[in-house]
Amino acid sequence: MKLSTHFAVPLAELRMEQPESLCGELLQLFLDCEKDPDKYRNEIRRNTQHGLFESRFDLFQWENPAVQELARFCHAAVFSVVANLTENTPDELERLRFDYHSWFHVTRAGGYQGIHNHQNASWSGIFCVDAGDEPEAHPQSGVVRFIDPRPGAFMYMDAGNRRMKKPFNHGAVQVRHEAGKLLLFPSYIMHEIFPYTGERPRVVVAFNCWVNATGESPAG
C-alpha cells in the first residue's frame, strides 16, 4: 500500500534557549508601553478581541535591543521553515525578501480572541513572552486552538475514521503557551484563543510575514 500525505498543514514549534532574561526585558517593556495607549495602542479595533491590549504593527522596527533580538529569532525561524518546506534552491532562498507586521498583546483576566485568521500573508507566528498564570480550575485558560481547515472532514464520523493516526487525523489542535515558545503556522489557518483566567497578565508577540523575491511586491 502506498500512502500519501496530501492536504497536510504544517505547524512548527520552536523554543528559544534560555529565554528568561530576554523575556523578562520584553515583559517589562510591553507592560510599560501598555500604560501609554495613545502612543502604542493599535488604532484599529477588532470585534474578535476582548480584554486585551494590542500594539501597533511596527514592533520589529523598534530599535530596542531586546526587540531586535526577538526579531532575529523569529526571522531565523521563518527562514528555516521556508527553506525546509519549499522547493526554492539555495540561490533562490538568498534572493528572498521577508517583510513583517509585528505587534504584542497584553491579555488580562477575561481576555480572549474569537475565531480569526491573518489575511494577506503566507506565514504567521506567536511568540510567548509570559504565559501568565495557569489556574488548575481552568485548564483551558488562554489555550490557542487551531481549527481544521477541511470543511468536509466532519461530514460523517464513525469507527472507521474517528481515530485516524497522524498525519491523517482531523479535528482542532490545542496548544498551550510557554515562555520562549514560538508557534509558526500558515496565515490562512483559522484559530482562536480561549478566555484567560489568570491574575498575572499574559504577554505574547505576534507577526505576519510576506516572502517575495527581491524586486517583487507583496501579493497582498
pLDDT of residue 45: 85
Query: What total of structural domains would you count in the chain?
Result: 1
pLDDT value of position 219 = 60
Task: Identify whether 220 is part of a domain.
Answer: no
Pairing of strands 123-130, 202-213: antiparallel
Residue at 23 is within a domain = yes
CATH code, 86: 2.60.120.620
Q: Is 3 part of any domain?
A: no
Whether 219 maps to a domain, the answer reads no
Read off the C-alpha cell for 118. Answer: 491573518
What was the pLDDT predicted at 23? 98
Mean pLDDT by 10 residues, the chain (220 residues): 91 97 98 97 90 96 98 98 96 94 96 94 97 84 95 91 91 94 98 94 97 74
Q: 110, 97, 8, 101: which is closest to 50 by C-alpha?
A: 110
How far apart (Å, rounded) are the C-alpha atoms in residues 76 and 100? Answer: 13
Asked if 31 and 203 count as a contact pair (C-beta separation under 8 A), the reply is: yes
Length of the chain: 220
Residue 218 counted as domain residue: no
Tens digit of each residue's pLDDT (9 = 90 or more) over 197-212: 999 999 999 999 999 9
Position 54 in a domain: yes
What is the phi/psi pair of residue 139, to 5°?
-65, -15
C-alpha cell at 120: 494577506
Residue 134: its pLDDT value, please? 81
Q: Is residue 5 part of a domain?
A: no
List, in sequence order, every beta strand (DSSP E) within the chain.
Answer: 12-15, 49-54, 96-116, 123-130, 144-146, 173-175, 181-186, 191-193, 202-213
Give pLDDT, residue 216. Answer: 73
Query: Residue 197: its pLDDT value, please?
Result: 93
Residue 2 lies in a domain: no
Domain with 48 in it: 12-213
